[in-house]
Amino acid sequence: MEPEWMKPVKSRTVCDFYYLFFWFELILAVFIVILMIFTFSMVKKGSYELVTLFLTQSIILSFAVTHAMFNYIVCERALISPEN
């Protein structure tokens, strides 16, 4: 199933690629939290816009964190064998 030219690529190399995405998405999640705090402090409290913005940012934050953790778990559990 795997092409012959891909066989020399080590699992550690692929795992490092997943770690790169993990850190990028973690930084993105921190940026979204900062954006949520900024939004909460700038928009009028109790307004429809605040609820909409906060809900949208919360959904994006949950996707970013979930995908970051998925990348981490794929690397740690699936790609790296115990003997590596």
Which pLDDT does position 18 carry in this prediction? 86
Structural domain contains residue 68: yes
User: 80: which 2 tokens?
Assistant: 């790296």
Structural domain contains residue 6: no
Which pLDDT does position 80 carry in this prediction? 66
38: phi > 0 → left, psi -120 to 50 → alpha, else beta; which? alpha
User: 7: which 2 tokens?
Assistant: 């066989």
User: pLDDT of the chain along its 84 residues, tens only?
Assistant: 778 888 888 878 888 888 898 999 999 999 999 999 998 888 888 788 888 988 999 999 999 999 999 888 888 777 665 555
Residue 18 and residue 74: Cα distance in Å, rounded?
Answer: 8
Structural domain contains residue 3: no
Which pLDDT does position 82 carry in this prediction? 57
Give the count of domains, the chain.
1
Structural domain contains residue 2: no
Structural domain contains residue 59: yes
Domain enclosing residue 15, as ranges: 11-79
